């Protein structure tokens, strides 16, 4: 059964570091939501295993629009999803909106926290303060039904190590269930001049604080208290089906043995007018195994090589032999039937992925 992703591309303000597609114009919200309904109605699916409303900033839309959107989803989806996540920013998630989310069965709120240091937040161009974060977490918990994730960033150039670690230490004391910790990526021009500066990463320190506080790493950037991993996101890393609705959303479905990806490209107006382009990519069966491996290595459990060779009728022996250098360098290991990154290898995910990709097509 596929999952459903809905993209809300509006933000109150554009953060200086963020390269994701979003616009600050909100006067198109109603038309955009009607266009989402148009695509939901066209979809042949009426059951979604998990649902994720992401952005942009879904919490910027008005209470009326939020209710309209959630009502429509509840009419289309004929089952209770295993997990229903909603992405929000601390300053725009009001008590009223939290109540609406609860009424329509949202089970998980992912909050964009980034830092609990007000100077860092200002430097990044965020419009919330640490106080907003504490307040909103209290509101959410008073509602009593939600799992909470907090997104944060580290390895931000010019931000001292102490500020990141004290944010983390404060964050793990809060009543939350999950942390997504992203190392800074240079997606915009903001601080591009620091890109090639050899900077020590805080990856192990971040991982250490989270693990010591009971948040177990299950994916390179994701940490959860026991049982609270994101079921929706796991489906992406396990190459399972999902439908993406909205501008810049992606879908992945299987057609017979082919894996098909669709990307909605264009801007908000083109999506509203139904004039956006849908870019389709077909991945034949023989090319799927390498995708499963490179995506799967993001997860701590890695990939089961016996299941993969059975599924794709592929003899892994030669491929594994040719990865010798990666084992030798301590980047990869075999645990039971699974091929996994080592703790050291997690620092070099991109390198390992590229190496395996090149090796597969050699
Ligand atoms: C695209 S945002 C959407 C959620 C929400 N609007 C927010 O601001 O948190 C999802 C997450 O991506 C991460 N992110 C965005 N730009 C990033 C960058 N340049 N480097 C690292 N993480 C980034 C942030 O942690 C952010 O919370
Ligand atoms: S980080 Fe979030 S709020 Fe900031 S611009 Fe990106 S999507 Fe919008």
Q: Any idea which residue has 């390269």 for tokens?
A: 19
Residues 33 and 175 in one domain: yes
Cα(228)–Cα(108) distance, integer angstroms: 10
Report yes or no: 294 and 319 within 8 Å, Cβ to Cβ.
Answer: no
Q: Provide the pLDDT for residue 200.
A: 85
Asked if the structure places residue 181 within a domain, the reply is yes
Expressed in angstroms and rounded, the spacing between residue 18 Cα and the centre of ligand 1 is: 6
- Counting ligands in written order, the one closest to the CA of 190 is 1
Ligand 1: residues with CB < 6 A are 17-18, 20, 55, 57, 87, 89, 112, 114, 151, 153, 182, 184-185, 187
Residues 69 and 211 in one domain: yes
- Counting ligands in written order, the one closest to the CA of 13 is 2
The string of DSSP letters for 204-219 reads HHHHHHHHHTT-EEEE
Residues 319 and 214 in one domain: no
Q: Provide the pLDDT for residue 254.
A: 97
CB within 8 A of 28, min separation 6: which ones?
Answer: 268, 269, 272
The number of distinct structural domains making up the chain is 2
The closest residue, in CA terms, to atom 16 on ligand 1 is: 18
Asked if the structure places residue 59 within a domain, the reply is yes
Residue 138: which H helix or E strand, with range? helix 130-143
- Counting ligands in written order, the one closest to the CA of 186 is 1
Residues 65 and 199 in one domain: yes
pLDDT in tens, the chain (362 residues): 999 999 999 999 999 999 999 998 778 999 999 999 999 999 999 999 999 999 999 999 999 999 999 999 999 999 999 999 999 999 999 999 999 999 999 999 999 999 999 999 999 999 999 999 999 999 999 998 789 999 999 999 999 999 999 999 999 999 999 999 999 999 999 999 999 887 789 999 999 999 999 999 999 999 999 999 999 999 999 999 999 999 999 999 999 999 999 999 999 999 999 999 999 999 999 999 999 999 999 999 999 999 999 999 999 999 999 999 999 999 999 999 999 999 999 999 999 999 999 999 98
| Among candidate residues 235, 264, 294, the one where a domain is terminated | 235
| Among candidate residues 235, 251, 269, the one where a domain is terminated | 235
The closest residue, in CA terms, to atom 7 on ligand 2 is: 56
**CATH code, domain carrying 85:** 3.80.30.20
CB within 8 A of 236, min separation 6: which ones?
Answer: 242, 295
Ligand 2: residues with CB < 6 A are 11, 14-15, 18, 20, 22, 55-57, 89, 112
Residues 349 and 230 in one domain: no
Pocket test for ligand 2, best of 22, 60, 125, 126 (most atoms within 8 A of CB): 22
Determine the atom of ligand 2 nearest the C-alpha atom of 89.
3
**CATH code, domain carrying 311:** 1.10.10.920
Residues 212 and 355 in one domain: no
- Domain of residue 325 covers 286-362
This prediction's pTM: 0.97
Report yes or no: 207 and 183 within 8 Å, Cβ to Cβ.
Answer: no
Closest CA to 67 of 29, 38, 39: 29
The helix/strand/coil state of 99 is helix
Residues 193 and 110 in one domain: yes
Expressed in angstroms and rounded, the spacing between residue 310 Cα and the centre of ligand 1 is: 38
| Among candidate residues 235, 254, 271, the one where a domain is terminated | 235
Asked if the structure places residue 176 within a domain, the reply is yes
The closest residue, in CA terms, to atom 9 on ligand 1 is: 112
Residues 199 and 320 in one domain: no
Tokens representing 15 are 């953060």
Expressed in angstroms and rounded, the spacing between residue 128 Cα and the centre of ligand 2 is: 12
How far from each other are the two terminal CA atoms of the chain, in whole angstroms?
A: 35
Expressed in angstroms and rounded, the spacing between residue 154 Cα and the centre of ligand 2 is: 16
Q: At CA 269, angle to CA 273 and CA 67, rounded to 5?
A: 85
Pocket test for ligand 1, best of 182, 195, 221, 250 (most atoms within 8 A of CB): 182
Expressed in angstroms and rounded, the spacing between residue 324 Cα and the centre of ligand 2 is: 41
Asked if the structure places residue 243 within a domain, the reply is no
Residue 236: which H helix or E strand, with range? helix 231-237
Asked if the structure places residue 254 within a domain, the reply is no
Residues 229 and 343 in one domain: no
Expressed in angstroms and rounded, the spacing between residue 92 Cα and the centre of ligand 2 is: 12
Angstrom CA distances, 167 to 90, 138, 160, 172, 188, stand at: 16, 17, 11, 9, 24
Residues 209 and 318 in one domain: no
For CA atoms 171, 208, 339, 281, the dihedral sign is positive
Residues 65 and 177 in one domain: yes
Q: Provide the pLDDT for residue 362.
A: 84
Asked if the structure places residue 265 within a domain, the reply is no
The string of DSSP letters for 153-184 reads EE--TT--HHHHHHHHHHHTTSS-SEEEEEE-
Q: Any idea which residue has 């023989």 for tokens?
A: 286
Determine the atom of ligand 2 nearest the C-alpha atom of 20.
6
Q: Provide the pLDDT for residue 24.
A: 87
Residues 28 and 108 in one domain: yes
Expressed in angstroms and rounded, the spacing between residue 356 Cα and the centre of ligand 1 is: 28
Cα(208)–Cα(169) distance, integer angstroms: 11
Q: Provide the pLDDT for residue 167.
A: 97
Q: At CA 268, angle to CA 15 and CA 87, rounded to 5?
A: 50
CB atoms within 10 A of CB 12: 15
Report yes or no: 242 and 251 within 8 Å, Cβ to Cβ.
Answer: yes
């Amino acid at each position: 059964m596929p999952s459903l992703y809905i993209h809300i591309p509006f933000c109150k303000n554009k953060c200086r570091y963020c390269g994701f597609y979003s616009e600050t114009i909100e006067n198109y919200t109603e038309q955009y939501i009607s266009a989402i309904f148009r695509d939901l109605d066209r979809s042949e699916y009426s059951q979604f295993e998990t649902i994720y409303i992401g952005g942009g900033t879904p919490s910027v839309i008005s209470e009326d629009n939020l209710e309209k959107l959630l009502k429509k989803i509840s009419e289309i989806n004929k089952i209770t999803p295993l997990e229903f996540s909603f992405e929000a920013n601390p300053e725009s998630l009001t008590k009223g909106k939290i109540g609406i989310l609860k009424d329509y069965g949202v089970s998980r709120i992912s909050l964009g926290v980034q830092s609990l240091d007000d100077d860092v937040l200002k430097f990044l161009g965020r419009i919330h303060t640490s106080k907003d974060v504490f307040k909103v977490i209290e509101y959410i918990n008073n509602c009593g039904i939600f799992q909470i994730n907090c997104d944060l960033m580290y390895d931000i150039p010019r931000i001292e190590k102490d500020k990141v670690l004290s944010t983390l230490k404060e964050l793990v004391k809060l009543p939350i269930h999950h942390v997504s910790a992203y190392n800074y990526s240079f997606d915009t021009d903001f601080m591009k001049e620091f890109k090639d500066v050899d900077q020590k990463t805080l990856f192990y320190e971040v991982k250490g604080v989270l693990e010591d506080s009971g948040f177990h790493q299950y994916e390179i950037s994701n940490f959860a208290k026991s049982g609270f991993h994101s079921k929706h996101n796991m489906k992406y890393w396990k190459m399972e089906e999902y439908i993406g609705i909205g501008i810049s959303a992606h879908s992945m479905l299987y057609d017979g043995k082919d894996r098909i990806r669709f990307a909605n490209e264009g801007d908000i107006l083109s999506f509203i007018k139904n004039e956006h382009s849908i870019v389709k990519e077909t991945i034949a069966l023989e090319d799927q195994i390498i995708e499963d491996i490179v995506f799967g290595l993001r997860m701590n459990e890695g990939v089961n090589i016996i299941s993969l060779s059975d599924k794709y009728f592929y003899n892994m022996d030669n491929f594994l032999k040719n990865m010798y250098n990666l084992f030798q360098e301590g980047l990869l290991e075999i645990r039971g039937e699974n091929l996994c990154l080592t703790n050291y290898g997690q620092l070099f995910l991109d390198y390992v992925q590229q190496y395996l990709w090149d090796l597969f097509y050699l």
